[in-house]
Chains A and B, each alone.
Chain A
Amino acid sequence: MRQIVIAILGLALLGGALAQQVRIMGYGGQDPAIKVRLLDEVIGASLEAEGITFTYEPLEGDYNAALFNALSAGTAGDIFYIPVETAPGIIATGKVLPLDGLIDTNAFIDSLVEAYTVDGTVYGIAKDFNTLAIHYNIDLFEEAGVEVPNAEDTWESFADKLRGVAALDADVYGACFPAGFDRFGAFAFATGWQTFDATGASNLLDPDFVEAVTWYTDLVREGVAIQPSDIGQGWTGGCFATDNVAVAIEGAWILGFLRNEAPNLQFGTTFMPIGPSGERGNFLYTVAYGVNVDSPHRDAALRVLEALTSPEAQQWVLEQGLAIPSRTELADNPFFLEDTPEAVANAVVFAGADDGNVLGFQFGTIGTDWMTPVNDALVAIMTGQSSVEAALTEAQRDLDALIQRAR
């Protein structure tokens, strides 16, 4: 819940009117810096002309908990981030302003708008999005004499390449596989499995799901892949930065991390491997801006929201290599064609959005609690405490109980 206030002293005293200060609450990490630069370099001037300025308050740590807290206390910003995975819950609090008729949603990618639509009403405008891609360490593959992953790889050929690199040294692993549905899910989708079936139930004992779990966990049990925590890392990006892990399966958010933490690492990026269904699987992660129902400056807030998601702002953010635009019109941006590792990674992530079975990172009103039983099962299997079947049977039971209580 780390929060740093980026205050911008942009007191625009135009025509004697005091500037309307719009508060935005969002993630920490790079976002505070991005907001400051956006304001300074792109949208600040036009907002200032209207007598509007904004401050950005990042909530570090558990953003969702901090946001619910702020919403209930009435201290939430005029604009706040709505992560896709908790969107149904946040919208259910009644604190999010419906945007129908206030903002034109047609210019945005459809699936992103859908993720924020409840009963036909739109509550959030996606600020950007992400999908998963394969990032690989060129040095490690070269040292092992193994061809780097490419877009034609299937699960089998991909796994063989990882095995080849892992054979290099006892300390070297093919990949970091976290015991979490938030990454593993992409592989489950590659079999054609879906989080909720037609009846709205989640079937973990579906043969497709079992196949994906088996493939994923077997690589860990073989010692080819490893859980991040087993090498003292918090996430796959951390593993990758150690130089001992050949592949990280992450979104474009890993780029900024690598710039800071492993500036010398030589990496490339390619698409997720093709699954047994003949298709790739992927997650769509996104975050939207929502407007606070109780905001004292609603109009100013809507104006800021428009500016933040304007084509100019998104173009700038893309060209800085910071995030991937949610506006359809930016799909052909020349930036995607550049030949730097970061541009390639961004292009792969952007293209991942409609390549194969791509599902939103969303679990209805249950929120991310949906993942807990599945994650427990993944750990139990990876560490050999439980067989695939036993673990999934237990997970199915826990999940059913959870869904029961939510209703």
Chain B
Amino acid sequence: MRAATVAPTTAEQRAFEHWQARRRWARAGLVYALMLGFAIIFVGPLLFATISSLRTDPLAYPPTLAIPQLQPGNWTAAARLGQAGARDRWFGGFAPGAVVPFEIAYFVPDGIEVIEPEVVVPRRRPGAGLGAVLAIEFAADYAEVYDLRRLPDVPMTVGDGDLTISGRRVAYAFEVRYLGEGPEIDRLPLDVTATVGMRYLESTLTASRLERRGRTASFDNITPGVLGYVLRNYVRTFNEVRSPATLQSLFLVWIGNSFTFAFFRIVVTLAIASMAGYALARLRFRGRGLIFMLVLFSQMVPLQVLFISNYLVLRDGIVTVGDFTLSSLWGYPGGMLNSLTGLIFVTALNAGAVFIMKQFFESIPREVEEAAMIDGASHWRRYWSVVMPMARPALGALTILTFQGAWNDFFWPFIVLTSPETIKTLPIGLLSFRNTYGAVGDWGLILAGAVMSAIPVIILFIVFQRYFLEGVSFGGGKE
């Protein structure tokens, strides 16, 4: 009631209103700042992981946004080197006729003898996993290092404050050439080993890592091309992890499996849930209450309680009588583990979807159907021709939510799809990335795979945001 104490003269009143308006503006500003803060918290990890997935080693410390892959200098160098290596500025390579010029610079403190570094094209296999098995051609067999020459020294000091070391910058230039004829090789690794005391400063392309305690500057590929350089981990995700049986890229296979699984799960869910929902919403029959109670109750029982038996049901092909298994009817005489069909079966029971459809059908006015009833239409026609066309919004929402659920599903694929590798869906495939590559600390591939596998759902979310947010209230309708 303090406001009342202000004397009600017009000038003062106007000043007070002005003061109030200022407060509102300020409040809005603060709210935006807060929302921005929250947005950074919630989107930050995804964004940071995306950027870090470009790094050669996403575990390198400190985590930073200033990574070599985002420096334009390295882009032009990568393009130039890719052009020199295989006349491909995008993905690079090492092809006959290639002459790849390269420079590397060291800081040499005064008093340390300069010894010409040793430049070697190593026979290096890709990291862990099947990459080690599949790489057959080595650049080392075709490459030769030519014309290693020392460039003029430049005096320089390093360090700051009390601790400065004076010395000089010693740089070398050389060329790597492709000898004679041969296949095009997708990468050209390089090791440059200097003596202890010579400190690596820079090179045409930033070194992938320093090995042998700083003695060896190691390059995974000096002819990467722009995309080969910036998206190295992404290219590896597709190229390096393959099924040796078919040489298919496993990541592509997993994406395909995920889409297949999602598609059939949507079809099955829509069909079963709309039929069951229709019956529960529109028909009066004995046992309706009991069934509805089961619908509610089955959502509360933890998956892990049911999985023991359900796993065995799949293993045994649903029902086994003597030598006959029911699942052999659709081509699975040995049980349905490790098949997408089995996975679709075991995840087809979706009481939540039934509940959503029932709620929706109840919201459609009965009069609509009564017209059809007078015409003597069968229950099926009333369901299929009258109610279903009206249910498009609900079916749409259910499609989106089911897709999201199937795409992200972890538990059942984890239990059902264990072998071979080509049967897995994306989340389970990512887990095998994590087991294979996480063990050797190679997080680049894992993060790249994770980022890519999140993309479809994010796109879907951006396009159909409304449905997702309604999903929250559907979830809210559970009780």
Q: Which residues of A contact B (CB under 8 A)?
A: 1-7, 28, 30, 32-33, 36, 57, 59-61, 66, 69-70, 72-75, 139-140, 143, 232-235, 238, 243, 256-257, 259-266
Contact = CB atoms under 8 A, between A and B. Distances in A.
Contact of A243 (B124, B193, B211, B337): B211
A305 to B, nearest CB: 21
A371 B435 CA distance: 22
Given A30-B132, A66-B418, A234-B441, A139 B432 contact: no
B49 interface: no
A3 B215 contact: no
Nearest to A25: B419
Given A139-B215, A264-B218, A234 B133 contact: no
B149 to A, nearest CB: 24
Interface string B431-449: 0100110111100000000
Given A4-B130, A60-B432, A261 B421 contact: no
23 contacts: A1-B419, A5-B244, A5-B422, A32-B133, A57-B419, A57-B420, A59-B419, A61-B432, A73-B335, A75-B338, A139-B212, A140-B213, A143-B196, A143-B213, A232-B59, A238-B439, A260-B125, A260-B126, A264-B122, A264-B191, A264-B212, A264-B216, A265-B211
A169 to B, nearest CB: 9
Contacts, number: 105
Given A32-B133, A264-B211, A4 B421 contact: yes
**Chain B CB within 10 A, most for which of A57, A232, A233, A260:** A260
Interface of B: 59, 122-128, 130, 132-133, 191, 193, 196, 211-213, 215-216, 218, 243-245, 315, 334-335, 337-338, 418-422, 432, 435-436, 438-441
Q: Interface of chain B, helix or strand or loop or mixed?
A: loop
Closest 8 CB pairs of A and B: A3-B419, A33-B133, A2-B432, A7-B245, A234-B439, A1-B418, A3-B420, A5-B245
A195 to B, nearest CB: 27
A260 B211 contact: no
A33 B126 CA distance: 14
A255 to B, nearest CB: 13
Contacts of B243: 4-5
Contacts of B132: 30, 33, 256, 260
Contacts of B432: 1-2, 60-61
Nearest to A256: B132
Contacts of A74: 334-335
Nearest to A138: B212
A266 B212 CA distance: 8
A339 B202 CA distance: 37
A257 B438 CA distance: 14
B155 to A, nearest CB: 28
Contacts of A70: 419
A170 to B, nearest CB: 14
Nearest to B209: A243
A243 B245 contact: no
Contacts of A259: 125
B373 to A, nearest CB: 51
A69 B441 contact: no
Contacts of A235: 439
Nearest to A34: B133
A146 to B, nearest CB: 14
A262 B432 CA distance: 23
